[in-house]
Amino acid sequence: MDTNKKPWPLSTVCGIKERINTNPDFQRPAVWSQPQKQLLIDTIIRGYDIPKLYWRKTGSRPDTYDVVDGQQRLRAIWEFQAGVYALPRDADPVDGFHLASLRYTDLPDELRIQFDTYPLDVVVLSDTDEEEVREMFLRLQNGTTLKAQEKRNAMSGKMRDFIKSLAKHPFFENCRFSNSRYTFDHIAAQMTLIEIEGGPCHVKNSNLNKMYEEQKEFDENSAKARKIRRVLDYLLKAFPEKTPELERYNVISLYAMVSHLLEQYVIQDRHDDIRNWFIQFETYKDEQRKLPEDIRDPLMTSYHDKISHSTDSYESILWRHNFLLEKFFIAFPNIELKDPQRLFTYEQRRAIFRRDNGVCQVKIKCDGVKCEWDNWQADHIIPWSKGGKTVVENGQVSCVPCNLAKSGSQVV
Ligand SMILES: [Zn+2]
């Protein structure tokens, strides 16, 4: 990596704005408030020092750059120069000049020159790869307010890529919260860890960091990965519209519940039930909060306690998981377990084959073709995932093309 440090006149940096990318994918979104921006401009006009800017050179002639560090400072400078905001009303004078409420074009010449020629210390990194730049970014951000998920997004590896793609799942858009500071990524990472651990577990930042580190080679087509997408698809079908009850703290529990139910129970067509039940549950919780403490449902008080602090601890996640499942099964006492035996045995297959005379009963792709013993499938008439039992009565002969067509048509 080549580093070149030199002072750039501020007006030059404004002049090549189009060639500077302030949003490479490891950067955080703009979050500076107006007073923070004004303070920076005030500092520059007074000629005080500001921290160095780090850019990575991404192209030559014309030179282009990614901002590694200093994105917010650059934006604040550009916006002020473009007249987007003024200095604060209570700004102190500089060298006898009034600054209060002035915009860039209103600055007295002396101060505008001071601004335009202010030397910005820029470190340009060239001949460097993404990995090195990420590493540098993490170091530069260390000790600042950069949040944990932003740091994880700056890591490399297939787990990070997988979580980033999960965070784009449309289900998240239907939740009440937004993706500011990578909330979607954070929750997607927690869901992934719960799936990898096979159920409730600690989902603290340290646990998520460890997962990113240890699963750098995570296979986005693995059974776990597919399961996570299947649960999110299910949730999207259950909550197809923006749902204010889907809060930051309860989505993870809802995920864990649906993941568990999909694994073991017949909830194939229960999307509406799950939505209605969940909204009722949240409504009941809010009603309880309004009651005087002595007549409140004590379990809802405990639930409230669990969603109020240490929400990412194993204890809280497990308690809420069991609580939601308990409430769910009270509301839907007829939810059935899937038959734990999924495949027909040799004896069952023989009985089915003889009974049907080896003739395909499915007839989606054929008119009832006669199958050879070593080239047919035992098909569940009522699909297994819908609670169909693995019994001869629920089995039928299917030719291979019909079986493929039937299983392909089944959605989540
Ligand atoms: Zn057939």
CB burial of 121-156 (b: ≥16 within 10 Å; e: otherwise) equals ebbbbeebeeeebbbbbeebbeeeebbbbbbbbbbe
Distances (CA, A) of 67 to 62, 102, 204: 16, 29, 30
Round to whole Å and give the CA distance between 243 and 303: 21
Could you tell me the distance, in angstroms and rounded to a whole number, from the CA of residue 358 to the centre of ligand 1?
11
Q: Does residue 170 sit in the same domain as residue 234?
A: yes
Round to whole Å and give the CA distance between 1 and 55: 12
Residue ending a domain, among 124, 146, 168, is 146
Could you tell me the distance, in angstroms and rounded to a whole number, from the CA of residue 230 to the centre of ligand 1?
28
Task: Enumerate the H helices of 266-378 as residue ranges.
Answer: 271-290, 298-308, 314-331, 346-355
Q: Does residue 157 sit in the same domain as residue 259?
A: yes
Round to whole Å and give the CA distance between 148 and 181: 9
Q: Does residue 257 sit in the same domain as residue 213?
A: yes
Could you tell me the distance, in angstroms and rounded to a whole number, from the CA of residue 408 to the centre of ligand 1?
14
For residue 226, the model assigns a pLDDT of 95
Do the beta carbons of residue 398 and residue 380 sit within 8 Å? no
In a domain, 158, yes or no: yes
81: DSSP letter: H
In a domain, 336, yes or no: no
CB burial of 288-313 (b: ≥16 within 10 Å; e: otherwise) equals beeeeeeeeeeebeebeebbeeebbb
In a domain, 162, yes or no: yes
Q: Does residue 35 sit in the same domain as residue 137?
A: yes
Q: Does residue 193 sit in the same domain as residue 255?
A: yes
Q: Does residue 264 sit in the same domain as residue 135?
A: no
Could you tell me the distance, in angstroms and rounded to a whole number, from the CA of residue 293 to the centre of ligand 1?
64
Q: Does residue 325 sit in the same domain as residue 394?
A: no
In a domain, 340, yes or no: no
pLDDT digits (tens, 9 = 90+) for 249-280: 899 999 999 999 999 999 988 999 999 999 99
Residue 325 has which token pair? 């499942």
In a domain, 339, yes or no: no
Could you tell me the distance, in angstroms and rounded to a whole number, from the CA of residue 374 to the centre of ligand 1?
15
For residue 145, the model assigns a pLDDT of 44
Could you tell me the distance, in angstroms and rounded to a whole number, from the CA of residue 350 to the centre of ligand 1?
18
Q: Does residue 292 sit in the same domain as residue 277?
A: yes
Structural domain count, the chain: 3
Could you tell me the distance, in angstroms and rounded to a whole number, from the CA of residue 338 to the centre of ligand 1?
26
Q: What is the mean pLDDT of residues 99-116?
A: 94
Of 79-88, 128-137, 160-169, minimum mean pLDDT range: 128-137
Q: Does residue 50 sit in the same domain as residue 189?
A: no
Round to whole Å and give the CA distance between 311 and 318: 10
Could you tell me the distance, in angstroms and rounded to a whole number, from the CA of residue 234 to the centre of ligand 1?
30
Domain limits at 262? 149-331
Q: Does residue 384 sit in the same domain as residue 310?
A: no
In a domain, 11, yes or no: yes
Q: Say if residue 407's pLDDT is above 80.
A: no
Do the beta carbons of residue 389 and residue 344 sit within 8 Å? no
Q: Is 123 helix (H, G, I), strand (E, B) or coil?
A: strand
Could you tell me the distance, in angstroms and rounded to a whole number, from the CA of residue 390 to the centre of ligand 1?
20
Q: For residue 37, with 0-12 CB atoms within 10 Å meaning exposed, 13-18 middle and 19 or more buried, which class applies?
A: buried
Do the beta carbons of residue 41 and residue 87 sit within 8 Å? yes
pTM of the entire structure? 0.61
Could you tell me the distance, in angstroms and rounded to a whole number, from the CA of residue 367 to the centre of ligand 1?
7
pLDDT digits (tens, 9 = 90+) for 306-361: 887 778 889 999 999 999 999 999 999 989 888 888 889 999 999 999 999 999 99
Could you tell me the distance, in angstroms and rounded to a whole number, from the CA of residue 409 to the centre of ligand 1?
15
Could you tell me the distance, in angstroms and rounded to a whole number, from the CA of residue 387 to the centre of ligand 1?
23
Could you tell me the distance, in angstroms and rounded to a whole number, from the CA of residue 381 to the centre of ligand 1?
13
Residue ending a domain, among 97, 131, 146, is 146
Residue ending a domain, among 131, 146, 161, is 146
In the chain, % helix, strand, coil (3-state, to 5) comes to 50, 10, 40
In a domain, 305, yes or no: yes
Q: Does residue 95 sit in the same domain as residue 204?
A: no
In a domain, 76, yes or no: yes
Distance of CA 80 to the CA centre of its chain: 33
Confidence band, pLDDT 50/70/90 cuts, at residue 411: very low
Residue 369 has which token pair? 């073709």
Could you tell me the distance, in angstroms and rounded to a whole number, from the CA of residue 404 to the centre of ligand 1?
10
Could you tell me the distance, in angstroms and rounded to a whole number, from the CA of residue 399 to the centre of ligand 1?
4
Q: Does residue 64 sit in the same domain as residue 134?
A: yes
Could you tell me the distance, in angstroms and rounded to a whole number, from the CA of residue 373 to the centre of ligand 1?
14
Distances (CA, A) of 164 to 233, 237, 300: 16, 21, 34
Q: Say if residue 25's pLDDT is above 50.
A: yes
